[in-house]
Chain A
Amino acid sequence: MAAYRTTLSHRNYVFQNLGDVLAKASPLRSGDVLAGVAAQSEEERVASQLALSEIPLKDFLKSPLIPYENDEVTRILYDSWDEEAFHTISHLTVGEFREFLLDQKTNHDTIRKISPGLIPEMVAGVSKLMRNQDLISVARKVEVITKFRSTVGKKGHLSVRLQPNHPTDDLKAIMAVILDGLSYGCGDAVIGINPATDSLERMTELQKLLSHLIESLSIPTQSCVLGHVTHQIKAIEGGSPVDLVFQSIAGTQLTNESFGVNAQILQEAQEAALSLKRGEREVMYFETGQGSCLSAQGHWRIDQQTLEARAYGFARVFHPFLINSVVGFIGPEYLYDSKQIIRAGLEDHFCGKLLGLPMGCDVCYTNHAEADQDDMDNLLTLLGVAGCNYFMGVPGADDIMLNYQSTSFHDACYVRDALGLKPSPEFELWLEKMKSENNGLLKAASRLLPKGSP
């Protein structure tokens, strides 16, 4: 692949190839330093951005960063690329593409029209030139709506995944958290449990619990038990009531293999979920996160933000109902502090939306990262302004099973209130109905969990 260069008054910077320019142009983060692909100096970073800004978008199509014959994700990205949709922007450089996206004339329709013509590397590239406010300005133009029992992603609405995880998957404990969360208006994106053990029996119990709750209270939402996808397929075969099928995915075949998945397994899972006729089209739920490819030693010396965008391109062909990056979960060796986590959260949301995905975000951090709840307030607010489809609702922001901090039921109330956002339309009606039935939810809670009988 051709070399790229930038000549500054005193120094000539040469970059081996497109992957090298992209990696060095990426805003500083510990994962790229760890991988040995980051710029060596602040000046080199900007020199890379100067070089990147002049690269024609067409160059991205010439030769894939990861060879087509070696990587299933690359094959899916290039095979699903829509030449006609690309035509409108085919004459632009990356720098001009930034200006095009920010232009007032470029709106939701324009972006949705070009979206199938974008490959993730172009989207990652343009994001690297952008300031945080650019990432917000462009992302908020795009509305990506998905539908199961509730409708998620409409402008003016903000949904929440209720995440009632428990260290031993105790059914009553999980039920208590769900009821508490519902009382704060959370749970309209999904009620999604990460099971503590990988037992098929327990997974099925959890699926039945959620399905029973949703049916008995007529909640316009959907359920998910986030075990391994092959377990979920087995559960479906065993007759378990599965709404959304979950899987963690990443931007390279090697990394997906380390998760024990590939496109064929995901397709089988999608077909299995659709066969239940609970959802019509969008039945998948994916989670991703910058750094996972390096962690799995499947990164091909590509920077972690570009790889993350590739995961979205991979996800796109499965029409997910929900997809979110778990941005600060992976730890300080990939995103060191709140500055890096906040930047990554905005990039991920922007890239996903540009590629036409119903992006949410798990705004979060671990206890070994340099971040705290004030930083999460910042990212939550910024992503709320950017039009993020959904956040996590974790009781008190403290996940007692996965041992990390996310956003709380209270945080969801705060961001909806501060930005004038409503729950999903069906869910909002349901909340009103429960309220009009003289606090029907509290009555249901007392019925489902009789007082004093843990």
Chain B
Amino acid sequence: MSNDWSFLKNFTHARIALGRHGNAVPTKELLNFRLAHSRARDSVWQELDENKITHQAFVIQSECSSKKEFLLNPDKGRKLSQASKEELQKLASRGEPSDCLLVLADGLSAKALHTNANGFVKEFVQEMKMSGLRLGPVLLAKYARVALGDIVAEIFQARSVVMLIGERPGLASSDSLGVYFTYLPKPGKSDSERNCISNIHSRGLSSEGAAKMTSYLVQQALKLKLSGVDLKVEYPSEYTRILPL
């Protein structure tokens, strides 16, 4: 039976046409799944390594002081440590208010930043430059959740914030990044006021394509002065092209 259907595998990396013995999957597939799960479990616990980020970035940390604390206390991951807050206030006082701030955050997969952030940052910085928008200093946040970006952006009085954050690792991709974009960020913003671009990894959206999409999103939001469910963005199709399997 598996042979007849196996041509379907040409179209996706989803686990299809696995074959069956009774109602169960073949032993090889059972163990493949367990191997992928073990890797995802390991990547949840991997620590952020700032040396893996090539663009110059200012390192900050949330209120969490360990991975476990981060996993069990989402609220602490949304707040800045006192030390980071003071450092950022100093840094912000030296610069001018920016149109957009880019925060790289480990979230639930530091591995995703290590693998896919560099291409994104390079392209995004370039795009901002070309569109004449002022991008604040790039920040690298440890033990961070999405809403941390609101607090950071408020310190910098930035008009918008792009949070590039490691997504929950899945089995097929333990290195996927997501973009959470917020116009006029400040503490207390809800998820419905954000726009999201997810699945940025080697088998999803390319880092470069996602950076172009994000830049387009930023420009639309600044023009229309809003973000979230009320901002319906139709991306140029060449940005959303799928990467080859």
A30–B201 Cα distance when bound, in Å, is 31
Residue A420 interfacial (CB < 8 Å)? no
Q: Does A410 reach chain B (CB closer than 8 Å)?
A: yes
In the complex with contacts A179-B8, A368-B44, A401-B199 CB distance below 8 A? yes
Report how many residues on chain B are interfacial, defined by Cβ distance under 8 Å.
63
Question: How far apart sit A279 and B227, CA to CA, in the bound complex (Å)?
Answer: 34
CB interface residues, A 169-198, toward B, < 8 Å = 170, 172-177, 179-180, 183, 196-198
State A372–B36 Cα separation when bound (angstroms): 12
- Which residues of A lie under 8 Å from residue B90 when comparing CB positions? none
Q: Are A403 and B33 in contact (CB under 8 A)?
A: no
Interface 1/0 per residue, A193-213 and B, CB below 8 Å: 000111111000000000000
Q: Are B168 and A333 touching (Cβ within 8 A)?
A: no
Q: Are A168 and B240 in contact (CB under 8 A)?
A: yes
* Nearest CB of chain A from residue B167's CB, rounded to whole Å: 6
Closest to A258 in B: B190
- Residues from chain B with a CB closer than 8 A to the CB of A445 are 5, 8
Please judge, given known A-B contacts A180-B5, A260-B228, A368-B108, whether A400 and B13 are in contact too, CB under 8 Å. Answer: yes
Residues of A contacting B13 in the complex (Cβ-Cβ under 8 angstroms): 400
Tell me how many residue pairs across A and B have CB atoms closer than 8 Å.
179
Q: How many residues of A contact B (CB 8 A)?
A: 66
Q: Which residues of A contact B8 (CB under 8 A)?
A: 176, 179-180, 445, 449
| B73/A403 in contact, CB under 8 A | no
Does the CB pair B232–A200 fall under 8 Å? yes
Residues of A within 8 A of B14 (CB): 164, 166, 173, 176-177, 395-396, 398, 400
Cα A363 to Cα B17 with chains together (Å): 22
Note all chain A residues with C-beta closer than 8 A to B25: 396, 408, 410
Q: Contact between A228 and B71 (Cβ–Cβ < 8 Å)?
A: no
Set A176, A198, A405: member contacting B16, Cβ < 8 A: A176
Does B171 touch A at the CB level, under 8 Å? yes
Residues facing B in A41-72 (CB within 8 A) are none
Is B233 in contact with chain A by the CB < 8 A criterion? Answer: yes
Min CB–CB distance A206 → chain B (angstroms): 14
Q: Shortest beta-carbon distance, A418 to chain B, in Å?
A: 8
> Given A173-B14, A198-B195, does the pair A403, B168 have CB atoms closer than 8 Å?
yes
Q: Does any Cβ of B come within 8 Å of A317's Cβ? A: no
- Determine whether the beta carbon of A402 is less than 8 Å from that of B170: yes
A34 CB contacts on chain B under 8 angstroms = 72-75
Residue contact A168 to B234, C-beta cutoff 8 Å: no
Give the complex CA separation of A32 and B37 in angstroms: 28
| Residues 187 to 205 of chain B near chain A (Cβ within 8 Å) | 190-192, 195-199, 201, 203-205
Question: Does residue A295 face the partner (Cβ distance < 8 Å to B)?
Answer: yes
Smallest CB gap from A442: residue in B: B4
Enumerate B24-53 residues with CB–CB distance to A below 8 Å.
24-25, 29, 33, 36-37, 40-41, 43-44
Choose among B16, B198, B229, B232 the residue that contacts A395 (Cβ–Cβ < 8 A): B16
Does B131 reach chain A (CB closer than 8 Å)? no
* Complex Cα gap A452–B12 (Å): 12
Q: Is A240 an interface residue (CB 8 A)?
A: no
In the complex the two chains form, is B196's CB within 8 Å of A198's CB? yes
Q: For A230, give the chain B residue with the smallest CB separation.
A: B229
Interchain CA distance A402-B43 in the complex, whole Å? 17
- Set of chain B residues within 8 Å of A331, measured between Cβ atoms: 71, 168
- List residues of chain B with CB within 8 A of the CB of A183: 5
Cβ–Cβ contact A30 & B196, under 8 A: no
Q: Quick one: CB contact mask for A315-354 with B, threshold 8 Å, 1 for yes?
A: 0000000000000000111001000000000000000000
Q: Known: A30-B72, A403-B176, A417-B23. Contact between A398 and B15, CB under 8 A?
A: yes
Asked whether B169 is an interface residue with its Cβ less than 8 Å from the other chain, the reply is: yes
Contact B73 A454 (CB under 8 A): no
How far apart are A158's CB and chain B's nearest CB, in angstroms? 13
Q: Which 5 A-B pairs have the closest CB atoms?
A: A396-B15, A403-B170, A260-B192, A173-B12, A167-B199
B binding-site residues for A, Cβ under 8 Å: 4-5, 7-18, 20, 23-25, 29, 33, 36-37, 40-41, 43-44, 71-75, 108, 167-174, 176, 190-192, 195-199, 201, 203-205, 228-229, 232-235, 240, 242-243, 245
Q: List 22 A-B contacts (CB under 8 A).
A: A164-B14, A167-B203, A167-B204, A168-B204, A173-B11, A199-B234, A200-B232, A228-B229, A258-B191, A296-B191, A372-B37, A373-B37, A396-B14, A398-B36, A398-B171, A398-B172, A401-B199, A402-B170, A403-B170, A451-B7, A451-B10, A452-B10
**7 additional contacts (CB under 8 A) given A176-B11, A199-B234:** A170-B242, A173-B11, A175-B11, A230-B229, A396-B16, A405-B37, A449-B8
Identify the A interface with B (CB < 8 A): 30, 34, 164, 166-168, 170, 172-177, 179-180, 183, 196-201, 228, 230-231, 234, 257-260, 295-296, 331-333, 336, 366-368, 372-373, 395-405, 408, 410, 413-414, 417, 439, 442, 445-446, 449, 451-454
